[in-house]
Structure 1
Amino acid sequence: MNTTKYRRLYRLCSQNFGCRMKGTSSRKWLQRQQSDIYVKMARAENWRCRSAFKLLEIDDKYRILRPGQLVIDIGAAPGSWTQVVCQRTNAAGLDNNSPKGKVISIDLLPISKILGACILDCTDFTSQDCQDKIIQNSDGRKADVILSDMAPNASGMKEFDGRLLVSLVSKVLHFSVNQLVTNGTVLVKLWQGSGCDELSDVMKELFSSVKLVKPKASRDDSREIYFLCQKFKGVVHSSGNS
């Protein structure tokens, strides 16, 4: 791909910080979980964690998930988003009156089996080997939706951590350029701060619609935001060098 307009995306992708997806939680985080209403609701409704309600709210409003779709869920552990996606795409084929979807879930951490999901756990999405496996498991299809809720392990330095996440998301976008259907959707998590504006500009070049959303299930003190990118424009390959 030799088009000039993707150069900024390449530059962001090239930042290698040794990023890792989200890891174990702190004791303070665990204490907060015990009193969290969404944690209690997740247990009651059999979602693996509270983040399910973020995707449920976004999908209820924007209708990004439909039966029959191929969806790639990056940074999926412990699997609550995958649960939502499998349900709404009919990935397990439980609804005989709707087309059967396919869900591919990836994370560095282990993910317990989820009915209808193809799980690629204990693997690094940013590696070429992992991306090749995703393509192999896509059965010749391009994704209708690509989701990313992954994040690096927090160092406590907001600027640095934000840049780590920008680098991860830029790699998701770079993968999407060649593996997303025209008019497809990408939903990614970022932390407010340095690098978001530049990455947002890249998104607007790739997609006809880019919205910043913050679900109610996101904690009030959290810097996390989600960019919903819809109507992927597709790739126009240059006939010469750029």
Structure 2
Amino acid sequence: MKDSKSKGPGGRELTVRVKTARGRTASSTRWLERQLNDPYVARSKREGYRSRAAYKLIEIDDKHHILAPGMKVVDLGAAPGGWSQVAIERVGSTDLNKLVVAIDYLEMDELPGVILFQRNFLDEDAPALLQEAIGGRADVVLSDMAAPTTGHQQTDHLRTTYLCEVAADFALDVLKPGGSFLSKVFRGGAESSLLTTLKQNFATVHHLKPPASRAGSVELFILAKGFKGKRQDAAPEDEESGDDEAAWRP
């Protein structure tokens, strides 16, 4: 159970503390307490987003302008649909003109304006299925994919880095010139080989940690903008790249 009071004198919000209960582990109690006290969770419920993750994309797009009306978007690892909701709003996708294609092996409720596949993106035929659904080339590839965590930081980093790498390979094959790729990575960022590939093929590459990403979370995001077309030559030394601090400096 949780403490019943949520506001103090003058309507000031109080921290909600969760009491331990039989059958609930300490870690699940901490997770529940964090959820109850998370302003982004409360905001997502008020504003109708399916997850607090929607605000990570909102904050990134507000600053870096990767989504615009009429763009075609592929959303990898889409469930429960927060990023797809943001994409729908910002590109103007409708059931009459579906501009967003989403995929996840988890079940996800349908969204107006989204072509949705409940499939594993790692299936051999999944990339071709997505490209056919988007009708050629995409303007933006989004990936919020992350492997289930094991609690071993190095293992979790490697598994999620692999998902970022396959998402990047897909982006290189499907993006239009000038397109953008945004993907989740874990603390430590993208591997050097992936960074090199992205710098070869995009005008700018940054690691980001938007404000909606919890301070204690190991997640980062890598944003590559200005797709130049798939290239294999060495990355020029003067191409722009940056870390999360530089990317969020005013």
> By the TM > 0.5 criterion, same fold?
yes
TM-score norm. by structure 2 comes to 0.78
Q: Which residue does the alignment assign to 1:82?
A: 84
Q: Which residue does the alignment assign to 2:242?
A: none
Q: Which residue does the alignment assign to 1:61?
A: 63
Write the letter of the residue equivalent to 1:110: E
Contact in 2 for aligned 1:163/1:194 (Cα 8 Å): no
Determine whether 1:138 maps to 2:134: yes
Q: Which residue does the alignment assign to 1:179?
A: 174
Cα distance 1:167–1:26, how it changes in 2: closer, same or farther (>3 A)? Answer: farther
Cα distance 1:204–1:26, how it changes in 2: closer, same or farther (>3 A)? Answer: farther
Contact in 2 for aligned 1:214/1:226 (Cα 8 Å): yes
Determine whether 1:148 maps to 2:143: yes
Determine whether 1:129 maps to 2:125: yes
Q: Which residue does the alignment assign to 1:109?
A: 106
Contact in 2 for aligned 1:89/1:101 (Cα 8 Å): no
Q: Which residue does the alignment assign to 2:198?
A: 203
Return the offset for 1:236.
Answer: 4.9
Q: Which residue does the alignment assign to 1:164?
A: 159
TM-score norm. by structure 1 comes to 0.80
Instruction: Name the CA distance, whole Å, in 2 between partners of 1:116 and 1:194.
Output: 32
Return the offset for 1:201.
Answer: 2.4
Contact in 2 for aligned 1:159/1:193 (Cα 8 Å): no
Write the letter of the residue equivalent to 1:157: H
Cα distance 1:204–1:150, how it changes in 2: closer, same or farther (>3 A)? Answer: same
Cα distance 1:143–1:31, how it changes in 2: closer, same or farther (>3 A)? Answer: same
Write the letter of the residue equivalent to 2:54: A
Provide structure 1 residue ranges, at least 5 long, that are not aligned to the other structure: 1-24, 95-99
Return the offset for 1:212.
Answer: 1.4
Write the letter of the residue equivalent to 2:108: I
**Higher RCO (Cα < 8 Å, 6 or more apart):** 1
The structure with the larger Rg is: 2
Write the letter of the residue equivalent to 1:109: L
Contact in 1 for aligned 2:190/2:222 (Cα 8 Å): no
Deviations along 1:129-155, whole A, 9 cap, x unmatched? 22121122122x201000001100000
Aligned counterpart for 2:117 among listed residues 108, 120, 142? 120
Return the offset for 1:49.
Answer: 0.8
Aligned counterpart for 2:74 among listed residues 72, 83, 92? 72
Instruction: Name the CA distance, whole Å, in 2 between partners of 1:68 and 1:194.
Output: 31
Instruction: Name the CA distance, whole Å, in 2 between partners of 1:174 and 1:196.
Output: 14
Determine whether 1:212 maps to 2:214: no
Write the letter of the residue equivalent to 1:31: E
Q: Which residue does the alignment assign to 1:44?
A: 46
What secondary structure sits across from 1:38 in the alignment? helix
Return the offset for 1:30.
Answer: 3.3
Return the offset for 1:119.
Answer: 0.6
Aligned counterpart for 2:35 among listed residues 33, 36, 39? 33
Report how many aligned residue pairs link the two structures: 207
Provide structure 2 residue ranges, at least 5 long, that are not aligned to the other structure: 1-26, 234-250
Cα distance 1:214–1:136, how it changes in 2: closer, same or farther (>3 A)? Answer: same
User: What pairs up with 1:15-34 in 2 under 5 angstroms?
Assistant: 28-34=30-36
- Over the matched positions of the two proteins, sequence identity in percent amounts to 36
Cα distance 1:63–1:199, how it changes in 2: closer, same or farther (>3 A)? Answer: same
**Superposition RMSD in Å:** 2.0
What secondary structure sits across from 1:91 in the alignment? coil
